[in-house]
Structure 1
Amino acid sequence: MTGTVLFDLFGVIARHQSTEGKNRLTRTAGVAGPAFWDAYWELRPPYDRGDVNGPGYWRQVADAIGACFDDRRITDLVEADIASWSAVDDTMVALVEELAATGRHMGLLSNIPEELASHYEAHHAWLKCFPVRAFSCRMGHAKPEREAYEWCQHALRTEPGRILFVDDRADNVRAAEALGMQGHLFTTPGRLRQALIQWV
């Protein structure tokens, strides 16, 4: 029986925010510095879990930093945020497509807000390689919460020990391992490929 691979999205297949993307966000907000990014990240988990939508999230950010974003600016911030997370690693996309072509059972687990999830579904056909797409905004749980991994295990219909979870964050990998999954801390496509050769 071939093992199942459960992929993280950002930092594995998709790239983290670029400096250019971050700069566009701060320019759009009209606010720069640690206060902006502290609010951006501290308020992100409920947005990722779908507890609040994009406009609601950015209003919370504005309140946290003492700013006032009108509807036009909020729309621009949502667009800039999506753009900042939109770059992918073509080598990893090719690997995913290769695995799908060989019949490898795969899933995707991502902490991602609805606006960004919808963008990826509309612009990245390779998402169809994943019959199970566990987006935090739609299942109501985010890594490293145990429930996020349990949701995936049930959706994949596979025993935890037959799942290899691939993520670039050690805390997320440890959480998967605590549930009984195997873990791979992603560093490069080449090292992942070697790990997959051994994962049968």
Structure 2
Amino acid sequence: MARERATALLVDFDGVLRRWDPAVAAGVEREYGLSEGVLGEIAMQWGRLRPVLTGRVSHAEWVASVADALTESVGSPERARAAVEQWQRYRGEIDPDVLALIREVRAAGVRVGLGTNATDLLDADLAALGLVGEFDVVVNSSVIGVHKPAPEYFQAACAALETPPGRVLCVDDQDWVIRGARAGGLSAYRWSGPEGLRYVRAALAY
């Protein structure tokens, strides 16, 4: 039996709507004499990242822990803090084609949720990037206390969208999230770039 087309969209932030230019971090690393990729490696260590994504520590506390871990590499706590602060000033760029799609489907009556593993800086980022009011709901892992791909995350997202899982399309760039969404009964599409725009339009009922 054919699956019903989705009537709501749950779209990821980082890697789908927001893009990061790796040259920014690379430039900071060169300026401070750091090895290539070390900022991301330290910041994304799961034991350090998971607490900030589930709201157990703040974004500021996470940033401070990254600076602490970096101190030995740069020679002083002050230089470590300066390097991390400079890196953090860059807040990414919005993919205009994805934003246009979100506006298009919302105008057609499709509910759109931003579904993201994020810190308590998310609201400030959305404001700085001009995205306030662009979504029907925002489902932030650090607010609800559970991160993708946990079943509880997708249950909360569907409840916020007021749409049963079988009618929600999740778009994410991570395979593990796609598997979790499908296990939770959602439709899911792994985003790899603008070629996905046609698929998402076709999968939604509008």
TM-score class, shorter: 0.7 to 0.9
Between the two proteins, the alignment pairs up a number of residues equal to 196
Q: Which of the residues 3, 19, 34 maps onto 1:31? A: 34
Note the residue ranges of structure 2 that are not aligned, 5 or more in a row. Answer: none
Match of 2:88 in 1: 81
Give how far 1:4 is off.
0.7
Deviates more, 1:155-164 or 1:20-29: 20-29
Q: Which of the residues 3, 19, 22 maps onto 1:19? A: 22
For 1:90 and 1:141, the matched residues in 2 are separated by 29
Note the residue ranges of structure 1 that are not aligned, 5 or more in a row. Answer: none
3-state SS of the aligned residue for 1:114?
A: coil
Summarize the alignment of residues 46-125 of structure 1 with structure 2, pairs less than 5 Å apart. 46-65=51-70, 67=72, 68-70=76-78, 74=81, 77-78=84-85, 80-83=87-90, 85-115=91-121, 117-125=122-130
Deviates more, 1:143-152 or 1:122-131: 122-131
Give how far 1:120 is off.
2.4
Q: If each structure's helix is expressed as a fraction of its own residues, which one has the higher value?
A: 1
Alpha-carbon displacement from aligned partner over 1:12-55 (angstroms, at most 9, x marks no partner): 1111x322221244357663346543321112222222222233
Deviates more, 1:127-136 or 1:25-34: 25-34
For 1:145, the aligned partner's letter is A
RMSD (CA atoms): 2.6
Match of 1:10 in 2: 14
For 1:77 and 1:197, the matched residues in 2 are separated by 42
Q: Are the equivalent residues in 2 in contact too, given 1:111–1:136 (CA < 8 A)?
A: yes
Match of 2:194 in 1: 189
For 1:28 and 1:144, the matched residues in 2 are separated by 36
Q: 1:191 to 1:98 in 2, by over 3 A?
A: same
Q: 1:130 to 1:36 in 2, by over 3 A?
A: closer
Q: Are the equivalent residues in 1 in contact too, given 2:9–2:111 (CA < 8 A)?
A: yes
